[in-house]
Structure 1
Amino acid sequence: MTTNTPFRSRENAPRARRGTRSLAVVAGAAAALLAWLVTAKFAGTHLDVRTGSGDAVQSVGVAAVVVAAVVAGLGGWASLAVLERLVPARARAVWTALAVVVLVLSLAGPLDQGTTTGAKAGLVGLHLVTGMVLVPALARTAARR
């Protein structure tokens, strides 16, 4: 007699993927939070960015970092789910390439809007840390066809 574990059965595969993807989003946000703590609190870097026309300056706080990481993770999850339906055989490869391109493009924001070299470096680091957690974690969950 053979028994299927909950993660091995075909019926439970989507549920297991949802759980793993949820953990990936949480891990991405936790990594961003940790990077923010190290950069802003322990190293004392002021993560300030120019807003609007460039005159106003805003400090990037913990809430903004966590929300941005969660939004990025959910966006990655949604785009992976769409690709699994559109190109099921190549969803993982296409999504990974797309995710890396989006991550690289996201670096333009901190490089352009950061007020100091330290702020730019710290904000780029936040983007990279979050991406280094989300991209492999979500790619690993792509459905196998």
Structure 2
Amino acid sequence: MNRVRRAGAVISAVGLAVVSWVGVGPLLGHRFIVTGGPPGRETLEIGLAPVVVVASTLAGWGSFALLERLLPRFSRRIWTITAGTLLVPSFAPLLAPGMKVATRIALSVPHPAVAGVLIPGLTWIPARPAWAPSGGRA
């Protein structure tokens, strides 16, 4: 059941990233255009974004599974802190010159959206039912 829930978190994170990429631009009424770099303007399309999200979410799942085996007592805390720390530099490309403010905002939406689904989705612990034994002495 744990794998199914975690696979659902990965699929949900990827789906949310794609929906936010495809939906936010048209919702704001503009295309993602970045100037600078190669001569002229460059229009950003969805391209490999879903592949990058799939790879990064699967890497997150794999690293969390490894931590659970190596450090079961601290795995959730270590992984959550690491994931949150890695979220911050993911915004670095948005600081590059040549983007309109609306483009920066629209491109920043998928980052916290994916993290907001993936972090709790992978680390969630189901509540113990009231009738379940507590593990203490009877």
Structure-2-length-normalised TM-score: 0.77
Deviation track 1:53-81 (CA, whole Å, cap 9, x = no partner) reads: x2255433334332222122111101101
Out of 87, 111, 114, the residue aligned to residue 127 of structure 1 is 111
> 1:41 offset after TM fit, Å?
2.2
How far apart in 1 are the matches of 2:114 and 2:51? 12
| Partner residue, 1:118 | 102
Percent identity, aligned pairs only? 30
Unaligned runs of 5+ in 1: 1-15
Aligned-residue offset at 1:20: 1.4
Secondary structure of the residue aligned to 1:61 is coil
Cα distance change of structure 1 residues 23 and 93 upon mapping to structure 2, 3 Å threshold: same
State the 1:102 CA deviation: 0.6
**Aligned twin of 1:62:** 46
Q: Tell me the residue number matched to 2:28.
A: 43
Residue of structure 2 in register with 1:26 after alignment: 11
TM-score by length of 1: 0.74
Q: Once structures 1 and 2 are overlaid, which stretch shifts more, 96-105 or 38-47?
A: 38-47
Q: Which protein is bigger by CA-based radius of gyration?
A: 2
Q: Structure 2: which amino acid aligns with 1:140?
A: W
- Cα 1:86–1:60 change in 2 (3 A) is farther
Judge conservation of contact 1:21–1:141 (CA < 8 Å) in 2: no
For 1:89, the aligned partner's letter is R
User: 1:84-103 maps to which residues of 2 (within 5 A)?
Assistant: 84-103=68-87
Return 5+ residue gaps in structure 2 as ranges: 127-138
Q: What is the identity, as a one-letter code, of the residue corresponding to 2:38?
A: D
Counterparts of 1:64 and 1:44, CA distance in 2: 22
Distance 1:30 1:85, change over 3 A: same
Aligned residues: 125
Inter-CA distance 67–46: structure 2 relative to 1 (3 Å threshold): same
TM-superposed deviation, 1:49: 4.4
- CA deviation after TM superposition for structure 1 residue 45, in Å: 3.2
> Alignment RMSD, CA only?
2.4
